[in-house]
Chain A
Amino acid sequence: MRENLHRFFRAARGAGVRVSPAESIDAMRAVAQVGFNDRDILRDTFLLTLAKTQDEKRALGECFDLFFSQPEPQQESAEQSRTDDNKESGANPSADEHGDNAGGAANENVGPLAQMLLSQDRSAISTAIANASGAASLPDIRYFTQRGIFQTRILDAMGIQRLRDDIDEQTTRNPALAERLQEALNGLRGTVRDAVSQALLLYGREEAENLRNEILRNAPLARIEPRQVEQMRALIRQIARRLRERYSKPRKRQRRGHLDVRRTLRRNAAWGGVPFLTAWKRKHRDRPKIVALCDVSGSVARVSDFFLLLIHSLHEVVDDVRSFAFSGHLIEVSDILESNSPEEAMKEIMSKVGFGSSDYGNSFADFEDNWMSAITPQTTVIVLGDARSNNLDPRADILRRIGERSKRLVWLNPEGRMVWGFGDSEMPRYATFCTVVRQCATAQQLERAVSDIVATYQ
């Protein structure tokens, strides 16, 4: 049973639940207390000891259901065999209408696997599959491309070679038997395929997800396919969580060496002013204040979408975000983003300002007329755009004033550095007034950019 538990822990890790060795020891001790008799209690026990957030609880619950419903015959575990039967009968459609007429006669001539299949001993077959899976180290499966090789390995370990020989031999001698064997073999293949798929689901999920995320992180945001948008949103949320964890922690840092005289006297009044307890001055750090100006014209809209999602998922880290969207003119979109789901918010923003041809000069002028007071010396202003102003007046003078008023002015450009300044790109002209200019085309670059901005406040 211990072996089984270890496999379950691995599967749980695969499902994204972080199970440390200490936690697995706890789980084992807990399981030793409650026993295996009641599946619900066992499930609760794992949820209590292994999963430490609600997401993890959900993932682990699913993993538990999957794990304990797979065809998994064990020598000693009687409680699992009941689940095997239905699984087996579906996946192993070996005909049983033939009865056992041929069984006794042919048994001496065929190999052990053929005998097992002929006798239709389900538990023996699934035991054999389980053993072969162990021999083929099935729990090491990581990617879906490995399915074929694991199937082959398992079948090899079960002695499929001997079975094939038997079939060849029997075709001439006893065609009916050969046919039955062939059918049984097909059924067996199906069962093994199911077992491998399930193992992949259990053990391979984490790797597959990591790989997918890695690819996604480096894909250009502007050109991802619609079906990946949802995944990208999930990834952005993940990034937001990581940034939150990193930057939301200690806000107060003691300034060692600076005595807070007033508080020290007050605190030690009881002892006649003898300073037993000292109070030190603390330094409060500002939380970042961010004003974001996002170009939502055609080429940059996607990137702006993800950027706004990221910035607005950083509540714990960022005190105050005001977002503005523009293409031809500029509007404030903070409220739209606060009160709607990301999809709806983006749709609404797009219907208001999106898809026009961008006019940076006009948009900056809008900002200066209405919202310039939003910028304080603590504010970081982030402009996200390709700086392609369709040869209209870029109004770089406004950008200069914005830069002077703010703590930092960061320009994020989804285009590569190579094309800045070519065509109608005004990037070089704007760049002179920015504290930082960086390329920001992929999720990874987005994360770095936002991380750096937040880090300047630490």
Chain B
Amino acid sequence: MADTRPTASIEAVESGLAAQGYIASRQIATAVYLSQQIEKPILVEGPAGVGKTELAKAIAAWRGMKMIRLQCYEGLDEAKALYEWKYAKQLLYTQILKDKLGEVLGGAQSLAAALDQLHTFGDVFFSKEFVEPRPLLQALEQPAGCVLLIDEIDKSDAEFESLLLEILSDFQVTIPELGTVSAVAPPTVILTSNSERDLGDALKRRCLHLHIGFPEQKLEERIVESRVPGISQTLRKQMVGFIHEIRSLDLKKLPSVSEAIDWARVLVLLQASELDHEIVKDTLNVLLKYEADIEAATPQISSFIAKASRQGVFS
């Protein structure tokens, strides 16, 4: 299996992720390296669209492991996240049991004898066969390990956090009827959060805490380069410079890396060779998602383009 590939060093993590098209900063690579060395989950926080979910996907692709994703939302409970009993099958089982009961207990003369005989059969009703594993349990059962992505944990209820604690610290879950299920191979766990609410200390304590912010200009250029190979170098420099200028504005939602990549794709599609006022104005809605933001940015377009181009000359 590919998961035996060594994560010998932080550089190896960096190049491994880069091979999957994920350009990681040093800090991200350190986090991934450490999480594998000391077997700790990573809690990734940061604004939307900076590649928190992508990180998990890239790790899975790089290490050749399956990725299991659990999308959190308000009202998510253990029946949807951990396991559920297959009620319909259990129902059928009891009916079959009823039919077969006569045969099975045929020899018994008294009620007590029948009961004794009944106890000699295993308790199949609550057994592994009737458990429907949900993402968390699935992740523990992967023989080759996997990447477990618990996405947007801040959207779930506070109680759900407590449910995660056992799995995060010991890679095991306890099903009351069955006992404790431990991981076959410890999964790599990535939790992401948009900081919509503060997470509990207990959860944070069990994780490495990684904050991904907007990348530096150089890094972002490399990201765009790896994601949109068709883009020319001058245009790339200009557009990334332009986005960095936009981020200095006071906007409702700042454009993040995913928007930068989308924009680069759009520019390539429109066969733009460099930024000009017209094309930026037409495509600004790719970058900014609120009418008010677009209005705020529009008057600045020309000066931003000028600034971005000037930067391109010097670097």
Residues of A within 8 A of B (CB): 18, 20, 22-23, 26, 29-30, 33-34, 40-41, 44-45, 47-49, 51-54, 57, 244-245, 248-250, 252, 270-271, 274, 276-277, 316
Q: Residues 210-222 of chain B: 1 if any A CB is under 8 Å from the residue's CB, otherwise 0?
A: 1100000000000
Q: With contacts A33-B38, A53-B209, A249-B158 known, what are 6 further pairs, Cβ within 8 A?
A: A44-B26, A44-B27, A45-B34, A48-B209, A270-B88, A271-B88
**Inter-subunit contact A250/B158 (CB<8 Å):** yes
Alpha-carbon distance A277/B86, docked complex (angstroms): 12
**Inter-subunit contact A316/B87 (CB<8 Å):** no
B-chain residues with CB within 8 Å of residue A53 when the two chains form the complex: 209
- Say if the beta carbon of B307 comes within 8 Å of chain A: no
Alpha-carbon distance A249/B201, docked complex (angstroms): 13
Alpha-carbon distance A48/B31, docked complex (angstroms): 7
Alpha-carbon distance A434/B301, docked complex (angstroms): 56
The chain B residue sitting closest to A40, CB to CB, is: B26
B-chain residues with CB within 8 Å of residue A33 when the two chains form the complex: 33-34, 37-38
Which of the residues A29, A41, A57, A248 comes within 8 Å of B10, measured between beta carbons? A41
**Inter-subunit contact B34/A49 (CB<8 Å):** yes
Residues of B within 8 A of A (CB): 10, 26-27, 30-31, 33-34, 37-38, 40, 45, 79, 87-88, 91, 157-159, 197-198, 201, 204-205, 208-211
The chain A residue sitting closest to B85, CB to CB, is: A276
**Inter-subunit contact B197/A316 (CB<8 Å):** yes
Which of the residues A29, A41, A244, A250 comes within 8 Å of B157, measured between beta carbons? A250
25 contacts between A and B (CB under 8 A): A18-B201, A22-B205, A23-B205, A26-B40, A29-B38, A30-B34, A30-B38, A33-B33, A34-B30, A41-B10, A41-B30, A48-B27, A48-B34, A48-B210, A49-B34, A49-B208, A49-B209, A51-B209, A54-B45, A249-B158, A250-B159, A270-B88, A271-B87, A271-B88, A277-B87
A-B contact count (CB 8 A): 68
Alpha-carbon distance A194/B77, docked complex (angstroms): 56
Closest 5 CB pairs of A and B: A52-B204, A33-B37, A44-B30, A276-B87, A48-B208
Alpha-carbon distance A29/B34, docked complex (angstroms): 9
Nearest CB in chain B: distance from A28 CB, A: 10
**Inter-subunit contact A52/B158 (CB<8 Å):** no
A-chain residues with CB within 8 Å of residue B10 when the two chains form the complex: 34, 41
Alpha-carbon distance A57/B27, docked complex (angstroms): 13
A-chain residues with CB within 8 Å of residue B211 when the two chains form the complex: 54, 57
Which of the residues A18, A22, A34, A52 comes within 8 Å of B34, measured between beta carbons? A34
Nearest CB in chain B: distance from A309 CB, A: 20
The chain A residue sitting closest to B204, CB to CB, is: A52
B-chain residues with CB within 8 Å of residue A34 when the two chains form the complex: 10, 30, 33-34
Nearest CB in chain A: distance from B189 CB, A: 15
Alpha-carbon distance A96/B264, docked complex (angstroms): 63
Of residues B79, B91, B204, B209, which shows the largest number of chain A Cβ atoms within 10 Å of its Cβ? B209
Which of the residues A48, A52, A248, A276 comes within 8 Å of B205, measured between beta carbons? A52
The chain B residue sitting closest to A48, CB to CB, is: B208
B-chain residues with CB within 8 Å of residue A270 when the two chains form the complex: 88
Nearest CB in chain A: distance from B246 CB, A: 21
A-chain residues with CB within 8 Å of residue B91 when the two chains form the complex: 271, 274
Which of the residues B26, B38, B210 comes within 8 Å of A26, measured between beta carbons? B38
Alpha-carbon distance A29/B209, docked complex (angstroms): 15
The chain A residue sitting closest to B43, CB to CB, is: A52
Alpha-carbon distance A57/B204, docked complex (angstroms): 13
The chain A residue sitting closest to B45, CB to CB, is: A54
Nearest CB in chain A: distance from B86 CB, A: 11
Alpha-carbon distance A216/B88, docked complex (angstroms): 64
A-chain residues with CB within 8 Å of residue B210 when the two chains form the complex: 48
Nearest CB in chain B: distance from A66 CB, A: 20
A-chain residues with CB within 8 Å of residue B159 when the two chains form the complex: 250
Nearest CB in chain A: distance from B216 CB, A: 15
B-chain residues with CB within 8 Å of residue A276 when the two chains form the complex: 87
A-chain residues with CB within 8 Å of residue B38 when the two chains form the complex: 26, 29-30, 33
Alpha-carbon distance A57/B46, docked complex (angstroms): 13
The answer to whether A245 and B30 touch (CB under 8 A), given A26-B40, A250-B157, A271-B87, is: no
The chain A residue sitting closest to B35, CB to CB, is: A48
Alpha-carbon distance A49/B198, docked complex (angstroms): 18
Alpha-carbon distance A53/B37, docked complex (angstroms): 23
Alpha-carbon distance A29/B37, docked complex (angstroms): 9
B-chain residues with CB within 8 Å of residue A44 when the two chains form the complex: 26-27, 30-31
B-chain residues with CB within 8 Å of residue A248 when the two chains form the complex: 197
Alpha-carbon distance A18/B33, docked complex (angstroms): 24
Alpha-carbon distance A51/B208, docked complex (angstroms): 9
Nearest CB in chain B: distance from A216 CB, A: 24
B-chain residues with CB within 8 Å of residue A274 when the two chains form the complex: 91
The chain A residue sitting closest to B211, CB to CB, is: A54
Nearest CB in chain B: distance from A105 CB, A: 55
Alpha-carbon distance A18/B209, docked complex (angstroms): 13
B-chain residues with CB within 8 Å of residue A249 when the two chains form the complex: 158
